[in-house]
Structure 1
Amino acid sequence: MIKAENLQKRVAMAGRELEILKGINLEIKSGETVAVVGASGSGKSTLLGLLAGLDEASAGRVVIADTELGQLDEDGRAAFRADHIGFVFQSFQLLPALTALENVMLPLELKGRRDARQQAEHFLQRVELGPRLDHYPRQLSGGEQQRVAIARAFASEPKILFADEPTGNLDSRTGEHIINLLFELNREHGTTLVLVTHDLKLAQRCQRRVQLEDGAVLAE
């Protein structure tokens, strides 16, 4: 289960303090599918980063599987993510010197998976990139890079998958395919899905929608 209590995020900007999140309280059950929706600038991506332990809150706390992320140092949070969490970044975060296959294999190899290549190939096939395994990010379109990022997140078979606009760079057919993959992962492995999206079709597939407005939860 994921639990956020009075979660706040403030940053200094132009000589003043900007409040991005204003005391978010949220519980997400194991295996649940949740869409975080709201206008641009409402704090969706910031919330996702805090829940995943990619950023530190100004106040409040995040607890995942009885572990309070704020009590871990940076290395501790990285180790926790490696064991429990997959993340699909809106900006892909692929390593330019590695091929598509190597980008997906890397986190598996770091975990000591002996089947890293087989697992990476399997998930790249599932996102329809079988013919592009040996291509570098610069040789791939934006949509193809997004699919590599999704395959990388899927390949570790995480307990929790966070995704920031997972269909934002995809055409409608590929987007539908990726949406189906997300929910297949949820069904097959009981994966908890937390998705930031403007895609109404994707949001409607989720069991619950959390709407943010001006850094606060407007409705669930």
Structure 2
Amino acid sequence: MTKPLVSIIADQLSKLVKTADGELTILHDISFEIAQGESVAIVGASGSGKSTLLSLLAGLDLPSSGQISLMETNLNSLDEDGRAQLRGKHVGFVFQSFQLLPHLNAIENVMLPLELVGVGQSEARLAAKTWLEKVGLGDRLNHFPKTLSGGEQQRVALARAFINKPAILFADEPTGSLDEASGERVIELLFELNRENSSTLILVTHDPALAARCGRQLSLQGGRLV
């Protein structure tokens, strides 16, 4: 039997930050592997280190000690530009706050990841139109974020996250600021697109029902994996 490809390896990760009262340890000795195509929920109470762990796994921050391998590349061996290039090639993000650029319309926001890696404008525009149609926003291509509802903005963010067909998708509380109906639609899209692309889905959530839909849960308590 062929062993599945490994998207992420976390090896004895710890994260310390300096505060006015001294050093604070946010994560303690975290180790796990995530196979390509898995869906994994990172769960735990507020302050347990969930978002910090997500940032480390994506190379947005570096651990104080330990190693992270993302798509067989050691993040510790890369500088900030190198990690950004790796993310551009392999990673998509969905944030609770959407993080759409207000001066760009929907199709321009979705085109952006492709343009950043050198794809031509006409090709990027066609791909963005296709993805916006997939998420049910084919009639909103030229709308700016301020004219879209919260659920529509999150669907634009999903299209943007998937346009470069990322091997790994990170989602940080993707439904936290949405009403129930919009949140359910976004959840369905996350798992649908995850299945269609065999992308690894790693999400931070407080929602037990959403976590239960993932293939596996990583539970943090006081910065430790339990």
Q: What is the TM-score normalised by the length of structure 1?
A: 0.92
Q: Is 1:151 aligned to 2:159, yes or no? A: yes
The aligned amino acid for 1:46 is: T
Paired with 2:46 and 2:133, the residues of 1 have a C-alpha distance of: 33
The two structures, once aligned, show a CA RMSD in angstroms of 1.6
Structure 1 match to 2:84: 78
Paired with 2:25 and 2:151, the residues of 1 have a C-alpha distance of: 33
Paired with 2:194 and 2:95, the residues of 1 have a C-alpha distance of: 19
Structure 2 match to 1:131: 139
The aligned amino acid for 1:25 is: S
Q: Is 1:66 aligned to 2:66, yes or no? A: no
The aligned amino acid for 1:6 is: Q
Give, in angstroms, the shift of residue 204 of structure 1: 1.3
1:215 pairs with one of 216, 220, 223: 223
Give, in angstroms, the shift of residue 171 of structure 1: 2.4
Q: Deviation per CA, 1:78-111: give whole Å up to 9, x if none.
A: 0000111111122222222211211110111122
Structure 2 match to 1:197: 205
Q: Deviation per CA, 1:123-172: give whole Å up to 9, x if none.
A: 22233333332222233333332222222101111000010011222222
Instruction: Give the SS at the match of 1:106.
Output: helix
2:62 pairs with one of 33, 56, 64: 56
Paired with 1:183 and 1:143, the residues of 2 have a C-alpha distance of: 16
1:142 pairs with one of 134, 150, 163: 150
Give the share of equivalent positions with the same residue, in percent: 61
Give, in angstroms, the shift of residue 24 of structure 1: 0.8
Number of equivalenced pairs: 218
Paired with 1:205 and 1:27, the residues of 2 have a C-alpha distance of: 19
Shift in CA distance, 150/183, structure 1 to aligned 2, threshold 3 Å: same
Paired with 2:25 and 2:149, the residues of 1 have a C-alpha distance of: 36
The aligned amino acid for 1:26 is: F
Give, in angstroms, the shift of residue 5 of structure 1: 0.8
Q: Is 1:33 aligned to 2:39, yes or no? A: yes
Give, in angstroms, the shift of residue 50 of structure 1: 0.5
Paired with 1:142 and 1:41, the residues of 2 have a C-alpha distance of: 26
Paired with 2:30 and 2:39, the residues of 1 have a C-alpha distance of: 18
Instruction: Give the SS at the match of 1:132.
Output: coil
Could you tell me which runs of 5 or more consecutive residues in structure 1 were left unpaired when the two chains were aligned: none
Structure 1 match to 2:117: 111
The aligned amino acid for 2:20 is: A
Could you tell me which runs of 5 or more consecutive residues in structure 2 were left unpaired when the two chains were aligned: 1-5
Instruction: Give the SS at the match of 2:118.
Output: coil
